[in-house]
Structure 1
Amino acid sequence: MSRIDIVYGGKPYTLGDRTVESLRAEITAAVTSGVPTWLRVNSGAGRYQDAYLLVSPGTAIAIVDVQPNAPDVILTDEQTFIADSTE
Protein backbone atom coordinates (compact mmCIF):
# COMPACT_ATOMS: atom_id res chain seq x y z
CA MET A 1 0.00 0.00 0.00
CA SER A 2 1.31 3.43 -0.90
CA ARG A 3 1.29 6.28 1.58
CA ILE A 4 1.73 9.98 1.15
CA ASP A 5 2.61 12.18 4.09
CA ILE A 6 1.37 15.76 4.12
CA VAL A 7 2.54 18.59 6.34
CA TYR A 8 -0.06 21.31 6.79
CA GLY A 9 0.04 24.02 9.42
CA GLY A 10 3.14 22.34 10.87
CA LYS A 11 1.25 19.12 11.61
CA PRO A 12 1.58 15.74 9.86
CA TYR A 13 -1.26 14.02 8.02
CA THR A 14 -1.38 10.99 5.71
CA LEU A 15 -3.17 9.72 2.63
CA GLY A 16 -3.27 6.13 1.42
CA ASP A 17 -3.87 4.55 -1.96
CA ARG A 18 -3.16 7.73 -3.91
CA THR A 19 -0.31 8.72 -6.15
CA VAL A 20 1.74 11.85 -5.66
CA GLU A 21 0.86 12.84 -9.22
CA SER A 22 -2.92 12.64 -8.62
CA LEU A 23 -2.63 14.57 -5.35
CA ARG A 24 -0.51 17.27 -6.96
CA ALA A 25 -3.05 17.56 -9.78
CA GLU A 26 -5.91 17.91 -7.28
CA ILE A 27 -4.09 20.58 -5.27
CA THR A 28 -3.00 22.45 -8.40
CA ALA A 29 -6.56 22.45 -9.74
CA ALA A 30 -7.86 23.83 -6.43
CA VAL A 31 -5.26 26.59 -6.32
CA THR A 32 -5.57 27.62 -9.97
CA SER A 33 -9.38 27.65 -9.85
CA GLY A 34 -9.29 30.14 -6.99
CA VAL A 35 -12.09 28.20 -5.30
CA PRO A 36 -11.20 26.93 -1.81
CA THR A 37 -11.32 23.12 -1.69
CA TRP A 38 -11.35 20.67 1.23
CA LEU A 39 -8.84 17.82 1.03
CA ARG A 40 -9.79 14.78 3.13
CA VAL A 41 -6.77 13.20 4.86
CA ASN A 42 -6.01 10.96 7.84
CA SER A 43 -5.05 12.38 11.21
CA GLY A 44 -3.63 10.55 14.19
CA ALA A 45 -1.51 7.48 14.70
CA GLY A 46 -2.79 3.96 15.14
CA ARG A 47 -6.46 4.80 14.77
CA TYR A 48 -6.98 7.19 11.91
CA GLN A 49 -9.51 9.97 12.01
CA ASP A 50 -10.68 12.00 9.05
CA ALA A 51 -9.33 15.52 8.86
CA TYR A 52 -10.13 18.13 6.24
CA LEU A 53 -7.49 20.57 5.03
CA LEU A 54 -8.56 23.78 3.31
CA VAL A 55 -6.59 24.28 0.09
CA SER A 56 -6.66 27.69 -1.54
CA PRO A 57 -4.20 30.12 -3.14
CA GLY A 58 -1.43 30.87 -0.66
CA THR A 59 -1.88 27.64 1.32
CA ALA A 60 1.41 26.21 2.58
CA ILE A 61 1.33 22.44 2.07
CA ALA A 62 4.09 19.86 1.65
CA ILE A 63 3.71 16.43 0.04
CA VAL A 64 6.13 13.64 1.02
CA ASP A 65 6.19 10.48 -1.10
CA VAL A 66 6.81 7.72 1.45
CA GLN A 67 8.59 4.77 -0.13
CA PRO A 68 8.72 1.86 2.31
CA ASN A 69 11.55 -0.02 0.60
CA ALA A 70 13.83 2.94 0.00
CA PRO A 71 17.05 3.12 2.03
CA ASP A 72 17.41 5.87 4.61
CA VAL A 73 19.51 8.76 3.39
CA ILE A 74 21.28 10.76 6.06
CA LEU A 75 22.41 14.29 5.27
CA THR A 76 25.18 15.94 7.23
CA ASP A 77 27.16 19.13 6.68
CA GLU A 78 30.09 17.15 5.30
CA GLN A 79 28.61 14.15 3.54
CA THR A 80 25.59 12.22 2.38
CA PHE A 81 25.40 8.51 2.96
CA ILE A 82 22.88 5.68 2.89
CA ALA A 83 22.23 4.14 6.30
CA ASP A 84 22.64 0.40 6.56
CA SER A 85 19.17 -0.91 7.40
CA THR A 86 20.58 -4.23 8.64
CA GLU A 87 22.11 -2.73 11.76
Structure 2
Amino acid sequence: MSEKISYIAPFGLRMPSDIRAWVERSADQIDRSMNYVIVAILRDRMKSSASVAATGSGLVTKSPAAAYDTAALAGSDIANPANGVP
Protein backbone atom coordinates (compact mmCIF):
# COMPACT_ATOMS: atom_id res chain seq x y z
CA MET A 1 0.00 0.00 0.00
CA SER A 2 1.51 3.30 -1.03
CA GLU A 3 -0.34 5.53 1.44
CA LYS A 4 0.35 5.59 5.13
CA ILE A 5 -2.72 4.67 7.15
CA SER A 6 -2.64 8.00 8.99
CA TYR A 7 -3.18 9.81 5.67
CA ILE A 8 -6.17 7.80 4.49
CA ALA A 9 -9.45 9.57 5.14
CA PRO A 10 -12.06 7.45 6.95
CA PHE A 11 -14.77 6.00 4.74
CA GLY A 12 -18.22 5.40 6.14
CA LEU A 13 -19.72 2.12 4.99
CA ARG A 14 -23.32 1.13 5.58
CA MET A 15 -23.98 -2.59 5.49
CA PRO A 16 -26.83 -4.89 6.45
CA SER A 17 -26.72 -6.15 10.02
CA ASP A 18 -26.13 -9.78 9.02
CA ILE A 19 -23.04 -8.85 6.98
CA ARG A 20 -21.75 -6.64 9.78
CA ALA A 21 -22.20 -9.48 12.27
CA TRP A 22 -20.32 -11.86 9.96
CA VAL A 23 -17.44 -9.39 9.51
CA GLU A 24 -17.31 -8.82 13.27
CA ARG A 25 -17.22 -12.57 14.02
CA SER A 26 -14.55 -13.08 11.36
CA ALA A 27 -12.42 -10.30 12.82
CA ASP A 28 -12.81 -11.69 16.35
CA GLN A 29 -11.77 -15.18 15.20
CA ILE A 30 -8.47 -13.94 13.78
CA ASP A 31 -7.94 -11.19 16.37
CA ARG A 32 -8.05 -8.42 13.77
CA SER A 33 -10.20 -5.35 13.19
CA MET A 34 -13.31 -5.28 11.06
CA ASN A 35 -11.49 -2.85 8.77
CA TYR A 36 -8.69 -5.40 8.29
CA VAL A 37 -11.17 -8.12 7.29
CA ILE A 38 -13.00 -5.85 4.84
CA VAL A 39 -9.76 -4.62 3.23
CA ALA A 40 -8.44 -8.19 2.98
CA ILE A 41 -11.62 -9.40 1.27
CA LEU A 42 -11.53 -6.48 -1.17
CA ARG A 43 -7.83 -7.07 -1.94
CA ASP A 44 -8.53 -10.75 -2.54
CA ARG A 45 -11.37 -9.81 -4.88
CA MET A 46 -9.07 -7.38 -6.71
CA LYS A 47 -6.52 -10.18 -7.21
CA SER A 48 -9.14 -12.58 -8.55
CA SER A 49 -10.55 -9.90 -10.86
CA ALA A 50 -7.06 -9.26 -12.23
CA SER A 51 -6.52 -12.96 -12.89
CA VAL A 52 -9.90 -13.24 -14.61
CA ALA A 53 -8.98 -10.30 -16.84
CA ALA A 54 -5.55 -11.79 -17.58
CA THR A 55 -6.93 -15.21 -18.54
CA GLY A 56 -9.94 -13.85 -20.40
CA SER A 57 -12.14 -16.39 -18.68
CA GLY A 58 -15.02 -13.96 -18.30
CA LEU A 59 -16.81 -12.42 -15.38
CA VAL A 60 -17.21 -14.16 -12.08
CA THR A 61 -20.93 -14.61 -11.59
CA LYS A 62 -20.86 -15.87 -8.01
CA SER A 63 -21.25 -13.22 -5.35
CA PRO A 64 -17.84 -12.46 -3.82
CA ALA A 65 -19.41 -12.47 -0.36
CA ALA A 66 -20.69 -16.00 -0.91
CA ALA A 67 -17.15 -17.26 -1.40
CA TYR A 68 -16.16 -16.50 2.18
CA ASP A 69 -16.94 -18.42 5.30
CA THR A 70 -15.41 -17.85 8.68
CA ALA A 71 -13.93 -21.36 8.89
CA ALA A 72 -11.86 -20.69 5.78
CA LEU A 73 -10.26 -17.55 7.18
CA ALA A 74 -7.60 -19.45 9.11
CA GLY A 75 -5.75 -20.45 5.94
CA SER A 76 -6.33 -17.32 3.92
CA ASP A 77 -4.46 -14.09 3.29
CA ILE A 78 -6.88 -12.49 5.75
CA ALA A 79 -5.42 -14.48 8.62
CA ASN A 80 -1.80 -14.20 7.48
CA PRO A 81 -0.38 -10.66 7.60
CA ALA A 82 2.82 -11.90 5.95
CA ASN A 83 0.88 -12.29 2.71
CA GLY A 84 0.73 -8.54 2.21
CA VAL A 85 -2.69 -7.77 3.61
CA PRO A 86 -2.42 -4.64 5.75
Q: TM-score range by the shorter chain?
A: under 0.3
Counting helix residues as a fraction of each chain, which structure ranks higher? 2
TM-score (structure 1 length as normaliser): 0.26
For the pair shown, which has the larger CA radius of gyration, 1 or 2?
1
TM-score (structure 2 length as normaliser): 0.26
Counting strand residues as a fraction of each chain, which structure ranks higher? 1
